[in-house]
Amino acid sequence: MNTKLAMALVTAMLAACGSKSDANAGNFGAALEAYLQSRGRLCLHTDRWPVELDKREVELAAQPPDWRAAHQMLALQAAGLVEAKQLETAEKWSFGRATGKARTVVQYTLTEAAKPFLHEPERKRVTWESDKPVQLVDLCWARKELDKVVKWEGPMKYGDFQTARVIYKYRIVDKAAWADRPEIRKAFRQIEAEVQRSGREDDLGLKLTSEGWEAQTRNLHGSLN
């Protein structure tokens, strides 16, 4: 029996021993599992495609610092996740008005190899270029999975409203092979930071609902909302 299945069975058995509203490791673990399943992805946060960079910026990518957009795109290109093409486009001022001049850019688009790692975040962006929301697509390299519930504080009651603060540990699973490439690690420093944080204690606020304990909405470090 693999570790994930065993943990799920233990969580289910603990939750079955009492009410789904009880404050126990089984119920809290189930809420954390659900939260990490939906919001525990670890992504690059380069989520508006295609990416267009000035040709001069790409040509200077050999110079430090090595975490700029050009370095990131070149690292993704080396991993086969993006492809580049050069094109001429109209130069614009900060608020989108054309200057009448042309400039050469390198446009990066996602490849077929990137498709298994794509995720659409639960947010959209409105820019000065258009009053219509821009659908975002992020490139994710792994996800967080519950390791264990360490302890909890509460429940704290505010009238009919109950909350608890749960301290837990998680591990990183389903890590993409390309996330271990040296040029990727160098260009996207958050990958190494997330790997270092794995196994340490984290915390999450839970609230009691008619369906049992659920996560209170908040951002998760390295994950897409």
Per domain, the residue ranges of the chain are 3-42+142-176+190-215, 51-139
> For position 132, what pLDDT does the model report?
57
Distance CA 19, CA 173 (A): 31
Please tell me the pTM assigned to this model.
Answer: 0.73
Contacting residues for 185 by C-beta, under 8 A, at least 6 apart? 179, 191, 192
Please name every residue paired with 153 in a beta bridge, in sequence order, or none if there are none: 165
Question: Helix 25-39 to helix 3-16 angle, to the nearest 10 degrees?
Answer: 130
> For position 225, what pLDDT does the model report?
33
Residue pair 141/40 in contact by the 8 Å Cβ criterion: no
- Average pLDDT for consecutive 10-residue bins of the chain (225 residues)? 58 60 89 91 87 79 67 92 83 56 82 92 54 73 94 87 92 94 92 90 91 73 38
Per DSSP, 117 falls in state G
**In residues, how long is the chain?**
225
Which residue in 161, 163, 111 sits closest to 139, CA to CA?
A: 111
> For position 136, what pLDDT does the model report?
80
> For position 58, what pLDDT does the model report?
80
Residue pair 25/164 in contact by the 8 Å Cβ criterion: no
> For position 7, what pLDDT does the model report?
60
